[in-house]
Copies of this chain bind each other. A is one copy, B any other.
């Protein structure tokens, strides 16, 4: 039985807010409206101005948006001279008032603008989309880049872990949320509602997402989980049509086989680690029969590295040649070598800063996971052949060791790996080398 109902109701108002009829609104230039909003005391006219500005912004074309961002960058920046002055004052006199003044000077005024815009109903989501517009503009207008730290700073505060809400996504979830799951799945595309159903409905499937109360219809990130007997080595097997789901007593492993960020406008605000940790906790409580938490993860940069080293290592070239045929049978004879190369790549190939070259590896190892196993012929989709010659990897989340692993990884760049993978990596290093 649940005691949620009352607090649940808290969400009501947010959700039921009348969307605010599009005022035949103010035709004043948007900059003027922004100045008015920034100068307004209290909120007497604030919410109305905020709504007008956002409505105005929504009607802007590309050029108009660029002009708006230029205004934010130039006119609503901070003043380094006054900031320096305020810093000196605070150095001289460390009290609350002087610090408050310094704090005000240290913040570009556009940040306060964003906070005030957030008074309008639905504004949080619109600000996230506004940042996405900005990010899309940056390649051609790098001078607007100064705006982004303000978005980032604000969003990191607003989307603080303490404000996120974990939700089950299943076949009882409202359709408008589910269609977003279809849309946002970034790892193993969901073809249609039937495919979605295969991932949500069976007894041995789970899906979880983080939401923010101010954007209740927009998942921020979600993870798809398969409950399996043993650690799986092929995503096609996991997602096969017509397979027989396992009953409650039959599975012992939770497999995170797909993690997708949903909001590009929240780029750089990290949720993945928290999500995995909380899902592990959920599964642990609900399904005590599950004793192992692993991923089945892609190695998205493997093929690129293989191509780089192929000229000097003939067996690597053969692997790539076989992969080019996109035919599992052609790949079959190279499985052992591919596994060794994958282990070698993940364990021994580093970026300049000593971190693993592979971004997925950086993510999971950075979360404290251990490299548990490597598989060949594990992803035989077109994309699987292309990016990793079919290789996939299991990262293991061992709750007891996650902190230690994370510590060793962050401090000493030390990668936690199972013995079998270490052995494979050693063999990999000698494969095709002279």
Q: Residues of A at under 8 Å CB distance from B? A: 1-16, 18, 41-48, 77-78, 80-81, 83-84, 87-88, 90-91, 94-96, 99-100, 102-103, 106-108, 115, 118-121, 123-124, 142-143, 145-146, 148-150, 152-154, 156-158, 160-163, 165-168, 170-178, 192-193, 197, 211, 213-214, 216-217, 270, 273-274, 277, 282, 285, 366-368, 402-403, 406, 410
A366 cross-chain contacts in B, Cβ below 8 A? 41-42
Residues B7 and A214 in contact, CB atoms below 8 Å apart: no
> Are B157 and A273 in contact (CB-based, < 8 A)?
no
Within the assembled complex, what's the spacing in Å between the Cα atoms of A366 and B145? 38
Complex contact B5–A5 (CB within 8 A) = yes
Taking a contact as CB atoms under 8 Å apart, the answer to whether A11 and B13 are in contact is: no
CB <8 Å contact, B277 and A43: yes
State how many angstroms separate the Cβ of A102 from the closest Cβ of chain B. Answer: 8
Is A213 in contact with B163, judged by CB distance below 8 angstroms? yes
> 9 closest Cβ contacts across the A-B interface?
A106-B106, A96-B145, A8-B8, A80-B91, A5-B9, A5-B5, A118-B162, A7-B216, A213-B213
A177 near B13 with CB under 8 A, answer no
Q: How far is the CA of A176 from the CA of B6 in the complex (A)?
A: 11
Q: How far is the CA of A205 from the CA of B23 in the complex (A)?
A: 24
Other than the known A5-B9, A7-B14, A165-B213, what 13 A-B pairs have Cβ atoms closer than 8 Å?
A2-B4, A3-B168, A5-B5, A8-B10, A44-B402, A78-B90, A80-B90, A96-B148, A99-B149, A119-B162, A154-B157, A171-B174, A192-B193
Bound-complex Cα distance A15 to B165 (A): 10
Q: How far is the CA of A404 from the CA of B60 in the complex (A)?
A: 29
Q: Which residues of B contact A211 (CB under 8 A)?
A: 10
- Grouping DSSP codes into helix (H, G, I), strand (E, B) and loop, the A interface class, with mixed when no group exceeds half, is helix
Q: How far is the CB of A225 from chain B (nearest CB, A)?
A: 14
Of B7, B11, B146, the residue contacting A96 (CB under 8 A) is B146
In the assembled complex, the CB of A35 is this many whole angstroms from the nearest CB of chain B, namely: 15
Given known pairs A119-B160, A123-B162, A403-B45, the reply for A3 and B213 (CB within 8 Å) is no
Set of chain B residues within 8 Å of A45, measured between Cβ atoms: 403, 406
Query: Which residue of B has the minimal Cβ distance to A274?
Result: B43
Residue in A90, A96, A193 with the greatest tally of chain B CB atoms within 10 Å? A96
Q: Is the CB of B216 within 8 A of A43?
A: no
- A100 and B149 within 8 A (CB): yes
Tell me if A270 and B95 are in contact (CB < 8 A): no
The verdict on A83 contacting B106 (CB below 8 Å), with A3-B168, A45-B406, A119-B162 known, is yes
CA distance A165 to B121 in the complex (A): 11
What would be 6 A-B contacts, judged by CB atoms less than 8 Å apart? A3-B15, A7-B216, A41-B406, A44-B273, A94-B146, A103-B149
Given contacts A83-B106, A99-B149, A172-B174, contact A124 B162 (CB under 8 A): yes
- B1→A11 contact, CB < 8 A: no
Cα of A78 to Cα of B148 in the assembled complex, Å: 22
Q: Is the CB of A7 within 8 A of B162?
A: no
Q: Which residues of B contact A166 (CB under 8 A)?
A: 1, 13
Measured CA separation A141–B205 after assembly (Å): 44
* A368 interface neighbour in B44, B119, B152, B410, Cβ under 8 Å: B44
Alpha-carbon separation in the docked complex, A156 to B157 (Å): 11
Tell me which of B5, B78, B142 contacts A8 (CB under 8 A). Answer: B5
Q: Is the CB of A119 within 8 A of B161?
A: yes
Check B15–A118 contact: CB distance below 8 A: no
| Cα distance, A160 to B193, chains bound together (Å) | 36
Q: Is the CB of A16 within 8 A of B42?
A: no
A142 adjacent to B5 (CB under 8 Å):
no
Report whether B41 and A16 are in contact in the complex, using a CB–CB cutoff of 8 Å.
no
Query: In the assembled complex, which residues on chain B have CB atoms less than 8 Å from the CB atom of A121?
Result: 162
> Are B2 and A12 touching (Cβ within 8 A)?
yes
CB-CB under 8 A from A162, the residues of chain B are 118-121, 123-124, 214
* Cα(A30)–Cα(B200), bound, Å: 36
Give min CB distance, A263 to chain B, whole Å: 16
| Most central of A87, A153, A177, A216 by chain B CB within 10 Å | A87
